[in-house]
Structure 1
Amino acid sequence: MISTEWGAPRVFGNGFKMEDVQAGHYGHQLHVWDWTKHTRIQSLDLGEDGQIPLGIRFLHNPESGQALLCCGLSSSILRVYKAEGGQWETEKVIQVGSKKVKGWMLPEMPGFISDIVISLDDRFLYFNNWLHGDVRQYDITDIHHPKMVGQVFIGGSIVKGGLVTVVEDTELDNQPDPLIIKGRRIPGGPQMIQLSLDGKRLYVTMSLYSAWDKQFYPDMIRSDQ
Structure 2
Amino acid sequence: MGETPHGTSDPTFYRSPSEAVAAPPEELAYVVAFDRSGERPDALATVDADPDSADYGHVVGWVEMPTLGDELHHFGWNACSSAFAHACHDITGLRRRYLLLPGLRSSNIHVLDTHPDPRRPALAKTISAEELAERAGYSRPHTLHCGPTGIYLSCLGGANGAEGPGGIALLDHDTFEVLRAWETDRGPQYLAYDAWWHLNQNTLVTSEWGTPGMIEDGLNPELLLANQYGHALHFWDLESGRHQQRVDLGEQHQMVLELRPAHDPEATWGFAGVVVSTEDLSASVWRWHRDGDRWAADKVITIPAEPADPELLPPALKPFGAVPPLVTDINLSVDDRFLYVSCWGTGELKQYDVSDPASPREVGSVRLGGIVGRAAHPADPERRLAGGPQMVEVSRDGRRVYVTNSLYGSWDDQFYPDGVGAWLAKLDTDPDAGGGLRVDERFFPRGEDFRGLRVHQVRLQGGDSSSDSYCFRR
Relative to the length of structure 1, the TM-score reads 0.85
2:376 to 154, 167, 178: 178
1:19-44 CA deviation, whole Å, 9 max, x = no partner? 11133431101111112211111111
Superposition pairs for residues 79-94 of structure 1, below 5 Å?
79-84=287-292, 86-94=293-301
Could you tell me which residue of structure 1 aligns to residue 398 of structure 2?
199
Report the 3-state secondary structure (helix = DSSP H, G, I; strand = E; otherwise coil) of the residue aligned with 1:95. strand
Q: Which residue does 2:413 correspond to in 1?
A: 214
**Do structure 1's residue 149 and structure 2's residue 363 form an aligned pair?**
yes
Which of 250, 255, 273 is 1:52 aligned to? 255
Runs (5+) with no aligned partner, structure 2: 1-203, 278-282, 422-446, 453-474
Q: Secondary structure at the match of 2:213?
A: helix
Q: Letter of the aligned partner of 2:233 in structure 1? A: L
Q: How many Å separate the matches in 2 of 1:181 and 1:10?
A: 39
In 2, Cα distance between equivalents of 1:204 and 1:72: 17
Report what 1:126 is aligned to.
340
Tell me which amino acid in the other structure corresponds to 1:40: H
Q: How far did 1:138 drift?
A: 0.4
SS at match of 1:90: strand
Q: Which residue of 1 aligns with 2:107?
A: none
Cα drift, residue 89 of structure 1: 0.3
Closer, same or farther in 2 for the Cα pair 1:39/1:62, shift >3 Å?
same
**Counterpart-to-counterpart distance in 1, 2:210 and 2:332:** 25
More divergent stretch after superposition (184-193 vs 145-154): 184-193
* Residue 99 in structure 1 maps to residue 99 in structure 2: no
Residue 110 in structure 1 maps to residue 324 in structure 2: yes
Counterpart position of 1:22:
225
Which is higher, the Rg of structure 1 or of structure 2?
2
Distance 2:297 2:232 in 1: 11
Say if 1:99 and 1:110, in contact at 8 Å, map to a contact too.
yes
1:32 corresponds to which residue? 235
Residues 153, 111 of structure 1: alpha-carbon distance in 2 compared, 3 angstrom cutoff: same
CA contact (8 A) 1:11 1:25 kept: no
| Partner SS, residue 194 of structure 1 | strand
Distance change >3 Å, CA 179–CA 71, structure 1 → 2: same
Alignment length (residue pairs): 207
Superposed CA offset, 1:130-164 (max 9, x none) = 1010001101112111110000001111216xxxx
Letter in 1 for 2:377: L
Instruction: For 1:79 and 1:148, locate their aligned partners in 2 and report how far apart those are by CA, in whole Å.
Output: 16
- CA offsets 1:166-217 (integer angstroms, 9 cap, x no match): xxxxxxxxxxx43354353332111101001111110001000000011111
Specify the alignment match of 1:69 in structure 2.
272
Distance 2:335 2:210 in 1: 33
Contact 1:180-1:186 within 8 A present in 2 as well? no
8 Å Cα contact 2:227/2:251 also seen in 1:
no
CA RMSD of aligned residues (A): 1.9
Q: Which amino acid aligns with 1:70?
A: G
Ranges of 4+ aligned residues in structure 1 off by more than 4 Å:
none
Q: How has the CA–CA distance of structure 1 residues 96 and 110 changed in structure 2, closer, same or farther, with 3 Å as cutoff? A: same
Once the two structures are superposed, residues 80-106 of structure 1 have per-residue CA deviations (whole angstroms, 9 ceiling, x without a partner) of 00110x211001110001122232323
Cα displacement (A) at 1:48? 4.9
TM-score, length of structure 2 as denominator length:
0.42
CA deviation vs aligned residue, 1:51-100 (integer Å, no higher than 9, x gap):
2100011111111100011101131010100110x211001110001122
Aligned partners of 1:109 and 1:184: how far apart in 2? 21
Structure 2 residue identity aligned to 1:206: N
Change beyond 3 A, Cα 1:178–1:184: closer
Match in the other structure for 2:245: 42
Whether the 8 Å CA contact 1:49–1:76 is kept in 2: the answer is no
| Residue number in structure 1 paired with 2:118 | none
Moved more, 47-56 or 87-96: 47-56
The structural deviation recorded for 1:4 is 0.5
2:286 to 75, 78, 99: 78
1:134/1:156 contact within 8 Å kept: yes
